[in-house]
Structure 1
Amino acid sequence: MYSLKLDFQQIELRLLGHLSNDEALIRLFSDPDIPDIFNALTAQWLGKSVETVSSAEREQTKRVVYSIMYGVGREKLAEYLKISVDNAKAIMASFLVKFPAVGNFTKSCVDFCHKNGYTLSLLKRRRLFPNIHSNNYTLRAQTERQCVNFCVQGSAADICKVAMLGVEDVLRENSHLNARLLVQIHDELLVEVADNHLSAVIDLVKSVMEERELLTSFGVRLRIPIPVSISTGKKWGHMVPVQQDDSKC
């Protein structure tokens, strides 16, 4: 038997493009020929060619983007980048000027939470945030960042759960294939498959997970593709990539 690992690539980053409906991000994430998403994103933000993007600039972009998504404050961003808090604030503001729909998205998440006391994932799962009305500024600000984080991470979890159902259904429909879904770990699905059915199962499961219509039964169509990377091996600890032709993390 083979172990098969299928991993949604940069699902939360790509969901930021979908949720914000930022046209520049959608174009970027929809281009299958971009070898490195963060290099391309950095070049677009800083107005330079991809070839001239330094590793430090790429890392800065990653830190800024994930700070926005994960609710990291400018103080923590400054610590990550080893710069002053004022510089961190300016860098984050610069990114949001270049990609204004991202800022509008985060503001809409916070405004919705202030109004309703909760926020929603892509498939309308609800999380309560009672501290959104706290008189304690620090606690309230932390909660505002958390509500944005839930919109993104909760939506990624939605997709993973629906993908699990889709994979389970397609394997059941193709019961002649000796394979079974074992578990979900974060953005990965782990499948066990017989050696002689490996190629067929890879094609089948990958097509389900990458289907843009995956969420249509819930009234959602993804604006961006979310590619899946695949690794296989005889042991979980010794997996080998099957194909790595998409953007690196």
Structure 2
Amino acid sequence: MIWGWMLSTGLLVWTLLHLRPQGGDLMAFLALWLCPTVHLPFTVGYHQFLCIGPEVLRRWRALDVAFIFIASIPLTYGLAYFVVPFPYTLALTAVSVSLSLHAWHNAAALPAGADIDKKANTRYVGLVVMVYLIPVVLQAAMDLRQALIAPGRGGAAAAAVGSSGPYDVLYTVKCAAGIVFCFAYGGVSYVLSYPDIYAPGVFDIVGAAQQLMHIAISGATALEWLFVIHMYQRSHVPGSAIPTGH
């Protein structure tokens, strides 16, 4: 998670220096950065203090789980802002808020010393992941359809962008595929405890399933940033024929 936050912070700095977004556009990028920033203290605290005792473990585990969902609120907003009309952005964000409230209630009810059901936990987190990835998948589907219907359109779009960053209409498809892969790989590594389960003790310091999962999530974070940067650039192309939300 620390890696993901550092990566997100670096991309925010790059965005502010090179793209210089203003107003609502700036808020979308800040929301994207806020996601790992909100979650970071609680996931670090959980992994740092889990060995102290059952009550301490329960408290920090509950905070870690709850803030996974709370962090999804600004992430949903940031991913949706340049894709769908603003009322839909708010509606999707409201869904993330509802899931976060439900997660907070369930996390607070976790008994001290109880083991985590990794499969159930992953399915639960998967719900909010599916919500905030709706704009990414939607845009990728629209672009894929555009590419299939009018294959020559990508070149025209790239020419329209010019020096602000040429792109092809399948860029979002690549981002979406990469994000889905990262989440799938991270989820499978976490649930199966791979490779720890096959070589207990060997990967305690480097290469543990938990580390692989966080690396995968960091990869998803990077791709989410690239997606939003791409959509921001597209939304600022005069006369662009490719539909965007704003």
Fold match (TM-score > 0.5) = no
Greater relative CO (CA pairs within 8 A, separation 6+): 1
State TM-score, norm by structure 2.
Answer: 0.30
Tell me which protein shows more strand as a share of its residues.
1
Tell me which protein shows more helix as a share of its residues.
2
